[in-house]
Structure 1
Amino acid sequence: MPTNTLESNREIVFVRVDDRLIHGQILEAWVPFLRVTCIIVANDGVASDYFRETVMRMAVPNDTEIIITSVKEFIKNYPSFQTKGQRTLVLFSCIADAVRAYEAGFRFHQLDIGNVYSENCAMMCLPSVMLGKQDIDDLKFLMNDEVTIEVRRVPKERSCNLRNYLKSPEP
Structure 2
Amino acid sequence: MIEQLRVDDRLIHGQVALMWSKALNTRGIIVANDGAAKDKMVASTLKMACPSSQHLLIKSVNDAEEVINDSRSKAMPIFVLTNCVKDALALVESCSGMIKEVNIANVGRFVNSEKTRVMPNVELTPEEVEAARELCKRGIPVFHQVTPNDAKTGVETALEDIR
Structure 1 unmatched runs, 5+: 1-10
Give ranges in structure 2 of 5+ residues lacking alignment. Answer: none
Q: Quick one: which amino acid aligns to residue 21 of structure 2?
A: V
Give the CA deviation at 1:157. Answer: 0.7
Structure 1 counterpart of 2:118, from 91, 102, 124: 124
Q: Distance in 2 between matches of 1:114 and 1:61?
A: 20
Which one-letter code corresponds to 2:131 in the other structure? D
Q: For residues 57-100 of structure 1, what are the alpha-carbon distances to aligned partners after superposition, in whole Å with 9 as ceiling and x for unaligned?
A: 12212221001100121123432374464321011110111112
Deviations 1:1-43 (A, max 9, x none): xxxxxxxxxx321111111000011012101111111000010
Paired residue for 2:93, among 71, 96, 103?
A: 103
Structure-2 change in CA distance of 1:61 and 1:77 (3 Å):
closer
How does 1:83-162 map onto structure 2 within 5 Å?
83=73, 85-107=75-97, 108-117=99-108, 118=111, 119-126=113-120, 128-162=121-155
Q: CA deviation at 1:124?
A: 3.0
- Looking at secondary structure, tell me which structure has more helix per residue: 2
Worse overlay, 21-30 or 110-119: 110-119
Q: Is the 8 A contact 2:14 2:49 kept in 1?
A: no
1:58 to 48, 59, 67: 48
**Preserved contact between residue 18 and residue 51 of structure 2 (Cα < 8 Å):** no
Contact in 1 for aligned 2:3/2:101 (Cα 8 Å): no
Select 2:13's aligned residue among 13, 23, 36: 23
SS in 2 for 1:91: strand
Q: Is the 8 A contact 1:123 1:132 kept in 2?
A: no
C-alpha change, 1:106 and 1:21, in structure 2 (3 Å) is: farther
Give the % identical residues. Answer: 27
SS in 1 for 2:159: coil
SS in 1 for 2:128: helix
TM-score w.r.t. the length of structure 2 is 0.86
Equivalent residues, number: 157
The higher radius of gyration belongs to: 1
Report the Cα distance in structure 2 between the residues aligned to 1:102 and 1:35, rounded to whole angstroms: 21
